[in-house]
Structure 1
Amino acid sequence: MKSRLKKITIFSLVFLFIFSTTLTTAPKKEVKAAEGYSGKIFRHWTRLRTGKSKKAKVLKTLKVGTAVTVYGTSGSWRKVSVAGKTGYVPKQYVYVGTKAPSLTGSTYKKGQTVAEFAQRFVGNPYVWGGTDLNRGADCSGFIGSIYRSFGYKLPRSSSELRSAGRKVSYSQKQPGDIICYNGHVAMYIGNGKIVHASSRKTGIKISQRANYRSIVCVRRIVK
């Protein structure tokens, strides 16, 4: 009996030691909200909903001109917050702010900032001859408008962009670089991916493979 009690006591002490150690050393789960970027409701009033469906609960009715914070685009919906409420609205009613952040740091860091800014407009329409990041742009219009937001003036056509900035090899590509194809142009965003105004059907989108077609050249714009 004494031997059994001794074993129980030892087990209890070991358990308490392990439990207390876990409490003091286990990392706390940190929940960090995405920073988001500025936008507003335009074209038509809309409803902020709890989910990406017209059947989802309505949180708030938003009038044209209502300022929102945009967190991203998923399918035909944008995640936004307004007046302390976060939800989803149809992407076509959200104007994404075109004021670009400042370019600082190394060439890589500057290019990364440009690439991140370009991805804000994913889901917006492709319009042949267009240069508007919200209402629609074609492939070269999209690239030119992104860089114009940072103070760079680039040639208008995809063929002329082959001489913009300076040439780098495909193996040296970094975020923000322009990738030129025959009759098309895109922006490299890292991890083998590009963002581009692809077609009328898909609009501005991210493609998983930068080398999905034959590459003519890679150009670096940032200095």
Structure 2
Amino acid sequence: MRNYGYRTTYINPKSPSIPRGTDVLLWIQPRRDHSRMTELLIRHLSRGGKAIVPLQHYNIQQRQYRGGRFKMVYWPQPQYHDLDLFLEPLGTGQVKEVLMDKTRAYLDLDTQVHHKMTPQFDSQRVALPFLIRTIRTNFSSASVITANLSNQLFIWGNRFLPDPDRLAELGLRHQTLITTSDRAWRYIWRGGWLPQVLFESRGFLSGRQPLAVLISGRFPPAKFVTDKEGKRKLKLKGSRANSGL
């Protein structure tokens, strides 16, 4: 980013502090426990600040095992971003699933090859539907952010599920910036390897699905509270809506 003329400042998520005069907060792939950073993000947004937060639920690993005759298997490694504690009360949660699309990318990805106790890594070229590729028609031409973009990759990406009524209730607006194609499908993963049969769809989701959204307006303040069971919840100020872990 510095090569393109941006001034950047690193923020340590373990002891975060947002510098004064920050134009845009860029927070890449939050991971548990990031409650302190989440509180700072909420404060930043509620004061009119801007933020870009790329996130996904899984990192799908390729593996081969001697006991499986080195047949390729795929495991969705959970990323535990937990930011839905904030996004869902706002009305723009990210769906926890393995998302796939007929429009896919060809990539050279590291494969864990388990010959012995310690895995080795081998780069292999693959083209699977969870390596989502977005083409020109998937980008909003109505936004200056995406008007001149095309052919971007959403590797192991997830979709958002905006609730327009909830957003309007909070005085927020949403705009879909990037979508899947109209031939996307999903799999609700509950553990184990991904079944090979799901790499070919037996039914598509309804229409193009949001991969990137712009939420604008004055964000409500929020804070973490602890309930009687000792669970931490995020409560929006002036709202009965809670989200907890």
TM-score class, shorter: under 0.3
Answer 1 or 2: which has greater helix percent: 1
Structure with more relative contact order (C-alpha pairs < 8 Å, separation 6 or more): 2
Q: Which is greater in Rg?
A: 1
TM-score (norm 2): 0.25
